[in-house]
A and B are shown apart, each in its own frame.
Chain A
Amino acid sequence: MTELLGNSILEICYIAASITFILGLKMLSSPDKARKGNLFAAYGMGLAIVATILFKEELSSDKSLNYILILSGLLIGTLFGTRMALKVKMTAMPQMVSFFNGMGGACAAVISIVEFDHVMHTGEYDLGLMIIIAVGLIIGSVSFAGSIVAYGKLEGKIGDKAIPGGQIINILLLIALVVVGGYLATMPVPTPMILYILLGISLIYGVLFVMPIGGADMPVVISLLNSFTGVAAAFGGLMYGNQAMLTGGILVGSAGTILTVLMCTAMNRSLVNVIIGSFGGGGAAAAAGGEQGTVKEITATDAAILLAYANKVSVVPGYGLAVAQAQHTIHELEQILVEKGVEFSYAIHPVAGRMPGHMNVLLAEADVPYPMLLEMEDANAQMVNTDVVLVIGANDVVNPAAEKDPSSPIYGMPIIKAADAKNIIVMKRSMGKGYAGIENELFFHDKNRMLFGDAKASIQKLIAEVKNL
Chain B
Amino acid sequence: MDQILNLFYENREFVFLIIVSIFLGIEVISNVPAVLHTPLMSGANAIHGVVIIGAIIIMLEADPTNYLALILGFFAVVLGTLNVVGGFVVTNRMLEMFKKKDKK
A interface list, Cβ under 8 A from B: 17, 21-22, 24-26, 28-32, 34-35, 37-39, 41-42, 45, 48-49, 52-53, 56-57, 62-63, 65-66, 69-70, 72-74, 76-78, 80-82, 84-86, 88, 90, 93, 96-97, 99-101, 103-104, 106-108, 110-111, 113-115, 117-118, 121, 127-128, 222-223, 226, 229-230, 232-234, 236-259, 262, 348, 350, 355-358, 360-361, 364-365, 367-370, 373, 375
CA distance A49 to B49 in the complex (A): 11
Docked-complex contact A246 and B21, CB < 8 angstroms: yes
Instruction: Please tell me if the beta carbons of A97 and B40 are within 8 angstroms of each other in the complex.
Output: no
Structural contact, B29 and A370, CB atoms closer than 8 A = no
The answer to whether A258 and B25 touch across the interface, beta carbons within 8 angstroms, is yes
From A22, A57, A111, A360, contact of B51 by CB (8 A): A111
Residues of A within 8 A of B36 (CB): 28-31, 34, 357, 360
B residues near A76, Cβ cutoff 8 Å: 78, 81
Residue of B17, B43, B72 with most partner-chain A CB within 10 A: B43
Contacts of A34 in B (CB 8 A): 36, 39-40, 43, 95, 98
| Contacting pair A251 B21 (CB below 8 A) | yes
Residue ID in chain A nearest B84 by CB atoms: A45
Number of A-B contacts (CB under 8 A): 388
A67 CB, nearest partner CB in chain B, Å: 8
- A107 CA to B83 CA in the complex, in Å? 9
Neighbouring A residues of B1 by C-beta, 8 Å: none
Measured CA separation A65–B62 after assembly (Å): 10
In the complex, A259 Cα to B75 Cα: how many Å?
A: 30
Please state if B81 and A73 are interface contacts (CB–CB under 8 Å): yes
Contact of B44 among A52, A80, A226, A262 (CB under 8 A): A226
Q: Point out the residue from A77, A97, A113, A121 that lies within 8 Å of B41, measured CB to CB.
A: A97
- Asked if residues B64 and A66 are in contact (CB atoms below 8 Å), the reply is yes
| CB-based contact B34/A233 at 8 Å | no
Beta-carbon contact of B11 and A22 below 8 Å: no
The answer to whether A29 touches B32, judged by C-beta atoms less than 8 angstroms apart, is yes
Cβ B53 vs Cβ A244 within 8 A: yes
Which one of B25, B32, B80 contacts A103 once the chains associate, using CB atoms below 8 Å? B80
Q: How far is the CA of A234 from the CA of B31 in the complex (A)?
A: 24
Secondary structure of the A contact surface, majority rule: helix
In whole Å, how far is B77's beta carbon from the nearest beta carbon of chain A?
3
Complex CA–CA separation, A54 to B60 (angstroms):
11
Instruction: Name the A residues within 8 Å of B40 (CB-CB).
Output: 25, 28-29, 34, 255, 259, 356-357
Asked whether, in the complex, the Cβ of A373 is within 8 Å of the Cβ of B21, the reply is no
Q: How far is the CA of A28 from the CA of B29 in the complex (A)?
A: 8
Chain B residues within 8 Å of A81, by CB: 81-87, 89
Given contacts A69-B59, A70-B56, A74-B77, contact A85 B41 (CB under 8 A): no
Q: Are A245 and B51 in contact (CB under 8 A)?
A: yes
Contact sample, A vs B, 23 pairs, CB 8 Å cutoff: A29-B40, A34-B95, A38-B88, A38-B91, A41-B47, A45-B46, A70-B56, A81-B83, A96-B90, A100-B82, A100-B87, A104-B48, A104-B79, A114-B58, A117-B66, A128-B11, A229-B48, A247-B17, A250-B21, A259-B37, A259-B44, A350-B34, A370-B35
